[in-house]
Amino acid sequence: MGVLGLDHVQIAAPRGCEVAARSFYGELLGLPEIPKPPLLAARGGCWFRLGAHELHVGVDDGFVPATKAHPGIEVGSADELRTLAGRLAGAGVAIEWADPAELEGRERFHVHDPWGNRLELLAAA
């Protein structure tokens, strides 16, 4: 018995974050929302399917954005990554493309969610 892998990643957000979370993670990034267990739903926030894993947006009353630590979210192809970048930019989200020499064989960019948490989106070049 041992560690099997990653189940979920949690992003912290301020109280009342649900509408913005559904807009950003659900609509812009295209992640399907999944129901939270009833006892946890009472705490606020929302959960999304992220491939075989989950991304949890959890309420933190002492919220401070994670400006360096970040999840790396894999996108299916470089074309899909560029399409996603266009959709985000069209919605007013700032896109920061990374230097391709930094991570050979990958295209990637960074964005910040509505509360300033950093996210990396990447695909094979």
Question: What does the pLDDT look like over 29-84, one tens digit per residue?
Answer: 999 999 999 999 999 999 999 999 999 999 999 999 999 999 999 999 999 999 99
Number of domains comprising the chain: 1
Q: Find the domain containing 28 and state its range.
A: 8-124
> What end-to-end distance do the CA atoms of the chain give, in Å?
36
Q: How many CA atoms lie within 13 A of 31 on its CB side?
A: 25
Query: What count of other Cβ atoms lies within 10 Å of the Cβ of residue 109?
Result: 20
**Considering the domain boundaries, does residue 1 fall inside one?**
no
Statement: the pTM of the whole predicted model exceeds 0.85: yes
Question: Is residue 1 predicted with pLDDT exceeding 90?
Answer: no
6-16 pLDDT, tens digit each: 999 999 999 99
Q: Domain holding 116: CATH number?
A: 3.10.180.10
E strand spans, 1-125: 8-13, 33-34, 46-50, 53-59, 72-74, 96-97, 106-112, 118-124
What is the chain's length?
125
**Considering the domain boundaries, does residue 100 fall inside one?**
yes
Question: Is residue 28 predicted with pLDDT exceeding 90?
Answer: yes
**Considering the domain boundaries, does residue 77 fall inside one?**
yes
